[in-house]
């Protein structure tokens, strides 16, 4: 159980300037983030220590939370405590403890999950609050944040509560004196902290094996199962595991045999992308798979007069759905022109939806840098550059588009290594597929020389964060649900986050694990 304590103190709600001033003080914590967003789209700011998922970190982790009781004084107690820790705490205390703080937890009353999610993935050993946090979390199904009973319900927590400060004591001196006393008391690492570190310590191939044996749970001709299948075959080739190959063969057999039609009456680019599995098998000499793969090529290449993919929506999704087919087709005899088609599509879409800062809006009428939408753009560029010869006329343009996006994404990485549901909105939730996809693109970029080694720390931080969100049974935490184009940022903020088994999240994490393994094998990466 995480130890929980009640801290009461005084002063006023901090503005953004107060949090930035804390971050500017030398030492940890110094990363500004957010635990959620208000209904008027203001981020609920945090100041965080970024080592929550660092297996080499030995310090105990303290989480401070203020403002839950609506009392302005409680907020300043947290600000004062962080300032004290950074400027006046003993060196022995700072060697033993790290702090992450949420000074003003002014969540919507219905939004207890965001608070639980943030606390959980700070990997706390001790939580100090200004009141009401465990009552606020009463009834939250803790399994829904992927860690079983990691956070204690209020009844269990109450035995460990103490009231600190208040009662006319001077603030911040009274509260800080009490906090100093708490931090001088030995506290063991929490089971939650242990669980998250155990997840992070797994090797990429160990995680890949769990995911490959679980996903997809719902086979279909769509990009989601196809990513899982192609990566399962990649894993099988590395490990010489015939059972993995057989699992893929059994799942795709209805389409290979003709029992099921490849496409329905209404062709969608997401289904066209599903044929990438047949392209992979065709490359190994399977003639039946080759016929199915070739059926998809003209569909992936077709464009409307507007330049949008014929069977797409004009979303960044199209950048991956089309190129996943075209890039693979370009490696087959008499299909070299498909690489030109892929390059033109990517360049045209980038002209439509890549922002000046390098991130991609989801669509020309969707004013949000959606996380998975940026993952799709990155994957389309990655797939095409992977097979593109160095002398190709579009290569320099695609590299420039890719590098601009990766530079922007690196700058927007959350304090814990995740990327968000809306990449450049600190209050958006930290999302699994965006993290898996952008990490994969960066890892591939380093391995192939498109990016320099300055991206390695971002890749390692993202991998650790992603691994922490993958449970031992392959279930996942915070996978954005299926999402079409939306015309407001609020639409993307409010998309549901799935926790549990999820084919989409599992496929993306499997691909990330395989590319993380390849990066390490290439000798261009050391564990960080």
8: in domain: yes
Same domain? 212 vs 194: no
Beta-bridged to residue 497, according to DSSP, are: 480
Q: Which residue has the tokens 């993202």?
A: 462
105: in domain: yes
Read off the CATH number of the domain in which 324 is found. 1.50.10.10
Interval 75-91 mean pLDDT: 92
Q: What's the domain count of the chain?
A: 2
Helix, strand or coil, per DSSP, at residue 21: helix
Structure tokens at 306: 């507007």
Segment 97-152, tens digit of pLDDT: 999 999 998 888 777 789 889 999 999 998 888 654 455 555 454 455 566 544 43
d(CA 46, CA 27): 16
526: in domain: no
Under 8 Å between Cβ of 348 and 354: no
The overall pTM is greater than 0.85: yes
Task: Output the pLDDT for position 152.
Answer: 37
Mean pLDDT taken over the chain: 90
Segment 13-35, tens digit of pLDDT: 446 889 999 999 999 999 999 99
Q: What single string gives the DSSP state of each residue in 187-207?
A: -PPPHHHHHHHHHHHS-HHHH
527: in domain: no
Task: Output the pLDDT for position 127.
Answer: 87
528: in domain: no
Same domain? 194 vs 210: no
Measure the CA dihedral 213/145/490/481, to 10°.
20
Single residue among 151, 184, 200 that ends a domain in this structure: 200
Segment 440-490, tens digit of pLDDT: 999 999 999 999 999 999 999 999 999 999 999 999 999 999 999 999 999
Kindly calculate the radius of gyration of the chain based on its CA atoms and give it in whole angstroms: 24
195: in domain: yes
d(CA 424, CA 25): 24
Same domain? 223 vs 262: yes
d(CA 355, CA 81): 40
Same domain? 154 vs 215: no
Same domain? 387 vs 370: yes
Same domain? 157 vs 232: no
DSSP 476: E
Task: Output the pLDDT for position 456.
Answer: 98
Interval 187-215 mean pLDDT: 96
Same domain? 125 vs 261: no
From the list 413, 375, 421, 500, the residue with the least C-alpha distance to 53 is 413
Model confidence band, residue 3 (pLDDT cutoffs 50, 70, 90): low
Task: Output the pLDDT for position 77.
Answer: 85
Interval 415-420 mean pLDDT: 98
Q: How many percent of the chain have pLDDT more than 90?
A: 77
Same domain? 399 vs 460: yes
262: in domain: yes
371: in domain: yes
Segment 476-528, tens digit of pLDDT: 999 999 999 999 999 999 999 999 999 999 999 999 999 999 999 998 766 44
Interval 217-243 mean pLDDT: 98
Is the preceding omega at residue 172 within 30 degrees of 0, hence cis?
A: yes
Task: Output the pLDDT for position 69.
Answer: 77
Q: How far is CA 327 from CA 197, 278, 367, 393, 477, in A?
A: 38, 13, 29, 15, 31
Task: Output the pLDDT for position 168.
Answer: 34
d(CA 424, CA 408): 9
Same domain? 301 vs 215: yes
Same domain? 195 vs 207: no
Range of the domain at 466: 202-521
Same domain? 185 vs 151: yes
Single residue among 139, 171, 200 that ends a domain in this structure: 200
Interval 255-267 mean pLDDT: 94
Same domain? 160 vs 286: no
Single residue among 200, 219, 235 that ends a domain in this structure: 200
């Amino acid at each position: 159980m995480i130890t929980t304590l009640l801290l009461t103190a005084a002063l006023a709600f901090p503005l953004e300037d107060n949090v930035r001033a804390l971050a500017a003080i030398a030492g940890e914590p110094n990363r500004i983030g957010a635990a959620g967003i208000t209904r008027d789209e203001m981020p609920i700011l945090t100041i965080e220590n970024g080592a929550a998922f660092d297996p080499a970190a030995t310090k105990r982790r303290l989480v401070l939370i203020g403002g839950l009781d609506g009392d302005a004084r409680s907020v300043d107690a947290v600000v004062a405590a962080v300032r004290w820790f950074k400027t006046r705490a003993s060196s022995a205390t700072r060697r033993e403890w790290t702090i992450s703080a949420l000074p003003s937890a002014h969540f919507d009353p219905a939004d207890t999950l965001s608070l639980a999610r943030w606390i959980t993935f700070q990997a706390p050993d001790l939580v100090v609050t200004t009141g009401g946090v465990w009552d606020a979390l009463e009834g939250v199904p803790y399994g829904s944040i992927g860690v079983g009973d990691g956070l204690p319900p209020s009844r269990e927590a109450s035995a460990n509560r103490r009231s600190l400060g208040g009662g006319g004591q001077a603030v911040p001196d009274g509260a800080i004196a009490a906090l100093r006393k708490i931090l001088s008391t030995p506290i063991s690492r929490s089971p939650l902290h242990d669980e998250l570190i155990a997840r992070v310590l797994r090797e990429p191939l160990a995680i890949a094996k769990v995911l490959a044996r679980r996903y997809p749970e719902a086979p279909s001709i769509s990009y989601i199962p196809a990513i899982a299948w192609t990566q399962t075959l990649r894993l099988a080739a590395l490990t010489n595991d015939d059972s993995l190959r057989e699992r893929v063969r059994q799942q795709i057999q209805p389409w290979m045999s003709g029992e099921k039609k490849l496409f329905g009456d209404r062709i969608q680019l997401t289904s066209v992308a599903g044929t990438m599995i047949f392209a992979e098998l065709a490359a190994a000499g399977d003639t039946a798979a080759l016929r199915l793969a070739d059926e998809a090529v003209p569909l992936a290449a077709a464009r409307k007069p507007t330049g949008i993919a014929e069977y797409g929506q004009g979303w960044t999704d199209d950048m991956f759905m089309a190129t996943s087919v075209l890039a693979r087709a370009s490696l087959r005899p008499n299909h070299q022109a498909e690489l030109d088609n892929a390059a033109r599509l990517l360049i045209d879409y980038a002209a439509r939806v890549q922002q000046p800062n390098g991130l991609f809006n989801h669509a020309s009428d969707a004013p949000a840098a959606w996380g998975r939408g940026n993952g799709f753009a990155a994957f389309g560029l990655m797939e095409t550059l992977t097979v593109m010869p160095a002398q190709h006329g579009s290569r320099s343009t695609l590299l420039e588009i890719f590098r601009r996006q990766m530079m922007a994404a690196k700058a927007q990485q959350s304090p814990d290594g995740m990327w968000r549901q809306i990449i450049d909105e600190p209050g958006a939730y930290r999302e699994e597929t965006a993290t898996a996809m952008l990490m994969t693109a960066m890892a591939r970029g380093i391995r192939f020389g498109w990016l320099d080694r300055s991206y390695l720390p971002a890749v390692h931080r993202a991998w650790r964060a992603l691994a922490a969100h993958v449970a031992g049974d392959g279930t996942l935490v915070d996978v954005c649900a299926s999402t079409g184009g939306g015309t407001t940022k609020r639409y993307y903020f409010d998309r549901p986050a799935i926790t549990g088994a999820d084919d989409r999240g599992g496929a993306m994490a499997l691909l990330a694990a395989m590319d993380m393994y390849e990066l390490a094998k290439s000798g261009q990466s050391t564990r960080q």
